[in-house]
Structure 1
């Protein structure tokens, strides 16, 4: 396949100031279409090179998009051969699994360390082995991404594989093909055969934007760019990979029909072939200069648009590298001088607002990844708009992070407020544009189940263990149904067919039939479970059971809500004015009522069972921790069925706190404060026996 000459590019009408008004495809013949497609392919490759490799585009995004779209249209309309075409970036057919592939040469790891002494020991070993005191080093950033092998034959992209164990990796050919900075065809005077090593990563700015979209959709963000890149590259559906902002730097040759005299010569040659390299490299004359280079990159790391976790120091001369050789796991001519992990202090790159299942709006800080308590985090809750104001945190600020209870990261202090960004809490919901209401320090979306974020989270909650406990509808399965457009609210679950489900990736006829059967079994749910499943704010399992026992039927609850009778709800144990108002507001919401009406076309909530007597009348229990003989829900139901009350918090009205395994400390402290008697599980059962319950 001959290379394209400069003269060919100069004659190509789509290189400089390209026209974007094209004749309809039905008005041109196949020969014209082929000629135009060839020109467009070369032009798109040229523009990719200017944008991704030279960082110097000559046309705008709209013009580029028009050229790319026209090429896609021609290839589809005239069934043109697309091998090596830039249009193959859009993603191929989904795969059942990623097959394994053997590398053309071992992809070894590199010896590494974070102490200067270790770097100097490496230098001493190199000089001793080569018998010289003068060694030139090639220094480059150590990218925090995913290493891949990419093979070109006759200049055309052939395949790609992850590093794996160094000998065998996963075949990610179709996924890597979608990365815009990976050329489908090399430029210039390229070798007949070339296997190169590159690092796939997500640019920091794109990672922040990507996480912002995930948070606003109610999804968990990725912890760091490396995890996001690795997960994206291993997607079974290349079209998903194509939608994510992956990029690549090339930095090594695994095998080639050409030789290089030095690493610096290789680095200089790569861009001429269209292979993107990092511009923050240096050739230095001794290890002192290499250490200085490392310290310069450490100072610069926060300002880069990609994550680096150190630098790689390589003997520049290839003949010297050959003489030094390798151990069984790593080359003797390279060393990775690692940076210290970021600890507790980091920079806020964005602040986004996440919409919870109940409509609560929570501001979330997206940050440069930082180590806190041995865990790397890149997001932290700001909890509510009042806290944002109290902290005075803005985009670009340097902040201190801690993990609340060693689990949830929080922003606790602004260290430097010189950031140039500004965050203002929205007046409308970011998911549905409904007005935002404030309740003390909290903020809530008023859209209810008309809000897509709340509606989607409500589907997952409806099927959860605490609600209707529908087997086969975990978080991953629910998200798949949402992404496929088969479900948008809980009522849609009852309209699923086995045929629709069996067509989804990872589903078969058996699993599809099982889920349809599970939904049929959930058409007559217990009243308390149905109330929990609706996701009424402030109504958990205990409150739902109390409502079911007090009102008996769903119709009675609905009648009280329609009448705005908050007093009727306040008469229920464990329901105060706030919860009563929340119940009435939920059923008054127009969007909630529309979904509920559809649900009731499929569901008939069963009236609450009569209590088993009044053996525990006047006694109030609170449970904490895990019980061996009961679920906590069963224990609470047993108490209520026999005339007692089961509440969620300890107060002066509580008679007993029942302690299971790993009990909550706060409830125990509250029991001490109020003089509440505590029981272990055996003592609880003994009490039930004394009252004739067991």
Structure 2
């Protein structure tokens, strides 16, 4: 039931003309804003959850704009205000948080006999305890991204992705931008509640979003799940708000309340979810026995293509919660639920053309353009051929009739040639289709040798150069880079450092402030750490770990550029193949020209004191978990600056696990399993002092 007072003037037939905000007192403005928030939350619920709106979209927009004006004029914005769905502050990075309870997986199979064996085990084990499963609850198995949402006193306080099941990425700011996720609960909710749901992109919204991407010259997403995964991890919540995400909720992870007991069955939980304002899929059913559950799966498979969201099977759950708790869990899966999967989709169609895409490091990927065909309700018009070796293995060519499968029921690929149009196989080009540079084969793979003279590689190289994995220049996402490229403002990496403020400010969606902010970010990247600069250059096979090892070994950019193959091979993690890739990169005239352009533009990678990094903590490996008195990344940088390695997971090669406040339990368990010493921050500081290293590190 609605928590909005029916006397709220903005609920039904609301006024759309308002007196000037300048004429309002602070008290009147605060009261009006509070009424607008309550009404807009109700309208959001009616529109996104119940699909039964009370007002027209135009009226809603006017109410929303009025609330924005009031909050801005009187500084009334609240964290869970509806306006924050589109105006949330970007985050610097996704932090890792521990779940309130493990987000376990479930056993799965596409065979009915395996489902019956699951039922036999459940009934046998419950029968031994004198218990009954109280039937099963059957739900679609959504093909999206699992999510934990935590509510305290009815307010959303945290949301996290599944991650490894025990820890996930904190995506609270992003989830606040999903309209169907309530920021405040309705009805009689518990004091503390953690729930599990699935974020997804509806099929119709996915098709429209991909159409817009193609019109802007962007690469379309392969499928709704990829689009969802890429969106929910966006650092800017406004990007999430601009994309059509939705979320179904289906399970309680934690429940605390002094007055109200937790629902006793899965079916009662779904009813409670609806009363609290969560979006619940209406296709769920309560059945009496496993044969009815099998029938449910078969019937849902027939309806699958008509649904506006992707599913890849059904989930069958023991209804009685006490029975579920008695059955317990394995280390990775719950024993009270089973996923009855649909068979993999297959379709037969014809290849109209084969085109070759060129990636950031020059790797060339052939893509088959297909006669459009419906595969699981999605129009598939292309499929990856992976590499030239795959083409040769399949013997595929333009005009062939082929069988298309979806890997993991998601990504289209060609499984076999059903009917060859001729005896020929597609001839992979000898020269890059973008820059005409020679193509070099490396086993089954092929690479364009044009380097940063190839415009396709430049596009992706620029995106990588400014990304978090490169120099971390904020304000330059793929869409803005595409805009700069289309405006002919950036044709090379060096052009980034010569951007003009007025030219930027004149671009659509920009202004003086955003232009100034970007130029300040770029200017701050003129003296990058050597390892970050090497990583940003898109040298094949050189990621951040290898770049750090190169910086420690050679100390300066010039030394890396002129290093001989045997010198490169002496570096940890650099074997003959990687050494050859590094040498080829710097021997390329095109790459050297691009590098010289960066240096001429004032980029000055900072050399490393080899003597300093070779001593102190050399040979040690640290893992950090929990909150320290400084940012965890600063602690990692400190130990790496003194010769140690900092990794993200505990193994037998780890020397120390350093724990702060609220540490992850999994890393502590792994440390115990591998006999890894565990240090708290004080003990860690003592260890550093023994090596003559000061704490805290300089910011």
| TM score, norm. by length of structure 2 | 0.56
Paired position in structure 1 for 2:526: 509
Paired position in structure 1 for 2:161: 162
Once the two structures are superposed, what CA deviation does each residue of 1:653-672 show, in whole Å capped at 9, x if it has no partner?
Answer: xxxxxxxxxxxxxxxxxxxx
477-486 or 14-23, larger mean C-alpha shift? 477-486
Root-mean-square deviation over aligned CA pairs: 4.6
SS of the counterpart of 1:252? strand
Paired position in structure 2 for 1:108: 104
- 1:136-147 equivalent positions in 2, closer than 5 A: 136-147=135-146
CA apart distance, 1:96: 2.3
Counterpart CA distance in 1 for 2:77 and 2:191 is: 22
SS of the counterpart of 1:11? coil
Aligned match of 1:73 in 69, 93, 111? 69
The answer on whether the counterparts of 1:345 and 1:370 sit within 8 Å (CA) in structure 2 is no
CA pair 233-33 structure 1, distance change in 2 beyond 3 A: same
SS of the counterpart of 2:204? helix
Counterpart CA distance in 2 for 1:22 and 1:367 is: 52
Counterpart CA distance in 2 for 1:101 and 1:506 is: 33
Paired position in structure 1 for 2:572: none
Aligned match of 1:490 in 488, 491, 498? 488
292-301 or 20-29, larger mean C-alpha shift? 20-29
Counterpart CA distance in 1 for 2:379 and 2:150 is: 35
CA pair 512-154 structure 1, distance change in 2 beyond 3 A: same
Counterpart CA distance in 1 for 2:280 and 2:523 is: 38
21-30 or 307-316, larger mean C-alpha shift? 21-30
CA pair 215-368 structure 1, distance change in 2 beyond 3 A: farther
The answer on whether the counterparts of 1:502 and 1:512 sit within 8 Å (CA) in structure 2 is no
CA apart distance, 1:53: 2.0
Paired position in structure 1 for 2:669: none
- Please say if 1:284 is aligned against 2:287: yes
Once the two structures are superposed, what CA deviation does each residue of 1:103-128 show, in whole Å capped at 9, x if it has no partner?
Answer: 11111111111111110000000111
The answer on whether the counterparts of 2:346 and 2:375 sit within 8 Å (CA) in structure 1 is no
Aligned match of 1:466 in 454, 475, 478? 454
Counterpart CA distance in 1 for 2:323 and 2:188 is: 27
Counterpart CA distance in 2 for 1:253 and 1:30 is: 41
The answer on whether the counterparts of 2:451 and 2:588 sit within 8 Å (CA) in structure 1 is no
The answer on whether the counterparts of 1:91 and 1:241 sit within 8 Å (CA) in structure 2 is no
CA pair 304-26 structure 1, distance change in 2 beyond 3 A: same
The answer on whether the counterparts of 2:133 and 2:323 sit within 8 Å (CA) in structure 1 is no
Counterpart CA distance in 2 for 1:469 and 1:108 is: 40
Counterpart CA distance in 1 for 2:495 and 2:288 is: 71
- Please say if 1:249 is aligned against 2:248: yes
Counterpart CA distance in 2 for 1:127 and 1:151 is: 33
The answer on whether the counterparts of 1:298 and 1:339 sit within 8 Å (CA) in structure 2 is yes
CA pair 505-98 structure 1, distance change in 2 beyond 3 A: farther
Paired position in structure 1 for 2:338: 335
The answer on whether the counterparts of 2:136 and 2:289 sit within 8 Å (CA) in structure 1 is yes
SS of the counterpart of 2:335? coil
Once the two structures are superposed, what CA deviation does each residue of 1:70-105 show, in whole Å capped at 9, x if it has no partner?
Answer: 111111110014132111111422222111001111
- 1:221-300 equivalent positions in 2, closer than 5 A: 221-257=220-256, 258-300=261-303
Paired position in structure 2 for 1:324: 327
Counterpart CA distance in 2 for 1:250 and 1:71 is: 29
Once the two structures are superposed, what CA deviation does each residue of 1:605-641 show, in whole Å capped at 9, x if it has no partner?
Answer: xxxxxxxxxxxxxxxxxxxxx99x999x999xxxxxx
- Please say if 1:89 is aligned against 2:85: yes
488-497 or 240-249, larger mean C-alpha shift? 488-497
Paired position in structure 1 for 2:117: 121
Counterpart CA distance in 2 for 1:515 and 1:109 is: 37
Structure 1 alignment gaps of length 5 or more = 347-355, 357-361, 382-398, 414-460, 517-625, 636-694
Once the two structures are superposed, what CA deviation does each residue of 1:399-424 show, in whole Å capped at 9, x if it has no partner?
Answer: 97589xx99879x99xxxxxxxxxxx
The answer on whether the counterparts of 1:95 and 1:237 sit within 8 Å (CA) in structure 2 is yes
The answer on whether the counterparts of 1:486 and 1:496 sit within 8 Å (CA) in structure 2 is no
SS of the counterpart of 1:129? helix
Counterpart CA distance in 2 for 1:189 and 1:279 is: 21
CA apart distance, 1:510: 2.9
- 1:109-508 equivalent positions in 2, closer than 5 A: 109-131=105-127, 135-257=134-256, 258-344=261-347, 378-380=380-382, 401=404, 464-466=452-454, 473-476=461-464, 480=477, 483=480, 486-490=484-488, 492-493=490-491, 496-497=496-497, 503-504=520-521, 508=525
The answer on whether the counterparts of 1:198 and 1:249 sit within 8 Å (CA) in structure 2 is yes
SS of the counterpart of 1:200? strand
CA pair 83-237 structure 1, distance change in 2 beyond 3 A: closer
CA pair 39-170 structure 1, distance change in 2 beyond 3 A: same
| TM score, norm. by length of structure 1 | 0.57
Counterpart CA distance in 2 for 1:252 and 1:95 is: 28
SS of the counterpart of 1:147? strand
Counterpart CA distance in 1 for 2:3 and 2:454 is: 67
SS of the counterpart of 1:333? strand
CA pair 507-188 structure 1, distance change in 2 beyond 3 A: farther
Counterpart CA distance in 1 for 2:82 and 2:95 is: 24
CA pair 11-504 structure 1, distance change in 2 beyond 3 A: same
Paired position in structure 2 for 1:614: none
- Please say if 1:29 is aligned against 2:25: yes
CA pair 15-630 structure 1, distance change in 2 beyond 3 A: closer
- Please say if 1:19 is aligned against 2:50: no
Counterpart CA distance in 2 for 1:105 and 1:482 is: 38
CA pair 369-201 structure 1, distance change in 2 beyond 3 A: farther
Once the two structures are superposed, what CA deviation does each residue of 1:128-160 show, in whole Å capped at 9, x if it has no partner?
Answer: 111178750100000000001000111111010
Counterpart CA distance in 1 for 2:120 and 2:522 is: 55
Counterpart CA distance in 2 for 1:367 and 1:172 is: 36
Paired position in structure 2 for 1:553: none
The answer on whether the counterparts of 2:369 and 2:381 sit within 8 Å (CA) in structure 1 is no
Once the two structures are superposed, what CA deviation does each residue of 1:237-276 show, in whole Å capped at 9, x if it has no partner?
Answer: 2221121111100000000124111000010111111111
Counterpart CA distance in 1 for 2:26 and 2:35 is: 14
SS of the counterpart of 1:322? helix
SS of the counterpart of 1:188? coil
Counterpart CA distance in 2 for 1:5 and 1:95 is: 32
The answer on whether the counterparts of 2:404 and 2:412 sit within 8 Å (CA) in structure 1 is no
CA apart distance, 1:489: 3.5
Paired position in structure 2 for 1:389: none
Larger radius of gyration: 1
CA apart distance, 1:508: 2.2
Aligned match of 2:44 in 34, 45, 48? 48
CA pair 108-505 structure 1, distance change in 2 beyond 3 A: farther
Query: How many residues end up aligned between the 2 structures?
Result: 449
The answer on whether the counterparts of 1:91 and 1:177 sit within 8 Å (CA) in structure 2 is no
Structure 2 alignment gaps of length 5 or more = 350-357, 359-367, 384-401, 419-448, 467-475, 499-515, 534-579, 590-699
